[in-house]
A and B are shown apart, each in its own frame.
Chain A
Amino acid sequence: QVQLQESGPGLVKPSQTLSLTCTVSHGSISSGNFYWNWIRQPAGKGLEWIGRIYTSGSTSYNPSLKSRVTVSIDTSKNQVSLKLTSVTAADTAVYYCARSSSPHREIDYWGQGTLVTVSS
């Protein structure tokens, strides 16, 4: 079955850009009609949807983060990427990559998550 693995720096300085990559294995990222989501969870808090990208490259973002977020896809590497600019301590969270088959449907596969801490 498909597996998702997040990777990237675990520590980012305030005002800098957070960059994460999600590598998809046991399945081509460009086959099938799937949406690739980024979701985050601050310690002890709930889940927050950040945004998503379709295999065609079309994107949708959480309005509260839209001005700072870019999600991209690299089908040649079977990867999805997240960039979040001008980070603050409030962006410290576990970041998950996750798959859904429609914007309106369930998220059926999740990565294990990666902790990103924003601190100087």
Chain B
Amino acid sequence: QSILTQPPSVSGAPGQRVTISCTGSSSNIGAGYNVNWYQQLPETAPKLLIYGDSSRPSGVPDRFSGSKSGTSASLAISGLQAEDEADYYCQSYDSSLSGVVFGGGTKVTVL
């Protein structure tokens, strides 16, 4: 069971907007630690998608956006495209564990 909770799956039609939630606690997200998001395409290593709650690395389309409030964070994908079909993971730091924690991952399906 992951420290950060994500829905197992979300789906949407091309062009639609989908959101993925990431729920933590007072020892991680609620403590103000950054939330980062990764995209993992099949058979590949995760790729940094969002860092520092809402910043995008160079090259990441602005269709991807992140936000954080309280003990939760969200990743939004607008204008959903077929190439966005992948697994998405949230990640933060947990002061109780003194280490990195991940969400269980969310599979995005483009209908």
A binding-site residues for B, Cβ under 8 Å: 37, 39, 46-49, 51-52, 60-63, 96, 100, 103-108, 110-113
Q: Is the CB of B45 within 8 A of A60?
A: no
Find chain A residues with CB under 8 A from B97 CB: 62-63
Q: Is the CB of A47 within 8 A of B45?
A: no
Write the B56-97 contact mask toward A (1 if CB under 8 angstroms, else 0): 010000000000000000000000000000000101010001
Q: Is the CB of B48 within 8 A of A46?
A: no
Find chain B residues with CB under 8 A from A113 CB: 45
Q: Is the CB of B46 within 8 A of A37?
A: no
A37 to B99, CA, bound (A): 10
Q: Is the CB of B99 within 8 A of A106?
A: no
Q: Is the CB of B33 within 8 A of A104?
A: yes
A68 to B101, CA, bound (A): 19
A114 to B91, CA, bound (A): 21
Q: Is the CB of B36 within 8 A of A49?
A: no
A-B contact pairs, 5 of them (CB 8 A): A47-B89, A52-B99, A52-B100, A107-B38, A110-B45
Cβ-closest chain A residue relative to B50: A106
A52 CB to closest chain B CB (Å) equals 8
Q: Is the CB of B48 within 8 A of A106?
A: yes
Q: Is the CB of B46 within 8 A of A110?
A: yes
Find chain A residues with CB under 8 A from B93 CB: 103-104
